[in-house]
């Protein structure tokens, strides 16, 4: 199966939206925070309506199937850093969709950070551990329908990016060392 290295293309939107999805490509689910403590989504009780979770993790192979073509896409730590910075600099923190389809209002990313040390990162306080360079975010959900009909019911499990990136085919070697091939293309990752 082909694998493509995603890179941030200058003068592009990069990550222009982060969707709430049932099956995140990263295979990582978010947690919901209540006024009391960390609580898994299905058990939310008295809520602040805050979600925390992984947006992107460096060197993670992400399976895609677009138009019948199966492939993997991978993001380096440097690309994730560029995408996360551009997301906030461009004011996209209010841009979210439901399953990459329907724009959502009443939600906002209120925190965004890159893991520097997985053992002492803020996410470790909530039982999560991700490698250095991972992008995590916290979302405030003020939309009653999204919170009650999707988050509390467990229909939504995590975050997934909507992005315009440059992709180059790579040959994976051990430890995710990559050699670029001459093929490249731009595509929407969703």
pLDDT digits (tens, 9 = 90+) for 39-52: 333 223 446 888 88
Q: Is the pLDDT score of 124 beyond 50?
A: yes
User: For residue 76, what are the CA distances in angstroms to 31, 124, 167?
Assistant: 25, 22, 12
What is the signed CA dihedral for 155, 161, 163, 167, rounded to 10 degrees?
-120
Query: What is the β-pairing status of strands 96-98 and 102-104?
Result: antiparallel
Q: Please state the φ and ψ torsions of residue 25, each to the nearest 5 degrees.
A: -60, -30
What is the average pLDDT across 107-129?
87
Q: Which helix (H) or strand (E) holds 80?
A: helix 77-89
Task: Give the pLDDT confidence score for residue 167 in this predicted structure.
Answer: 86
Q: Please state the φ and ψ torsions of residue 94, each to the nearest 5 degrees.
A: -95, -5
Task: Dump pLDDT digits (tens) for 153-172.
Answer: 888 888 888 888 888 988 76
- CA distance linking residue 92 with residue 96, whole number of Å: 9
Q: Is the pLDDT score of 65 beyond 60?
A: yes
């Amino acid at each position: 199966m082909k694998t493509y290295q995603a890179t941030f293309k200058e003068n592009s939107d990069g990550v222009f939206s982060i969707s709430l999805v049932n099956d995140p490509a990263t295979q990582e689910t978010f947690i919901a925070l209540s006024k009391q403590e960390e609580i898994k989504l299905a058990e939310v009780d008295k809520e602040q309506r805050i979600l925390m979770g992984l947006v992107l993790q460096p060197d993670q192979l992400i399976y895609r199937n677009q138009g019948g073509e199966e492939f993997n896409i991978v993001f380096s730590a440097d690309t994730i850093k560029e995408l996360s910075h551009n997301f906030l600099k461009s004011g996209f923190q209010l841009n979210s969709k439901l399953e990459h389809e329907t724009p959502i209002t009443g939600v906002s990313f209120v925190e965004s950070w890159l893991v520097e040390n997985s053992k002492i990162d803020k996410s470790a306080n909530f039982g999560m551990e991700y490698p250095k360079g991972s992008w995590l975010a916290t979302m405030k959900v003020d939309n009653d329908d999204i919170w009650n009909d999707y988050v509390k019911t467990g229909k939504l499990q995590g975050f997934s990016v909507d992005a315009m990136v440059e992709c180059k085919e790579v040959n994976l070697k051990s430890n995710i060392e990559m050699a670029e091939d001459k093929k490249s293309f731009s595509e929407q990752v969703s």
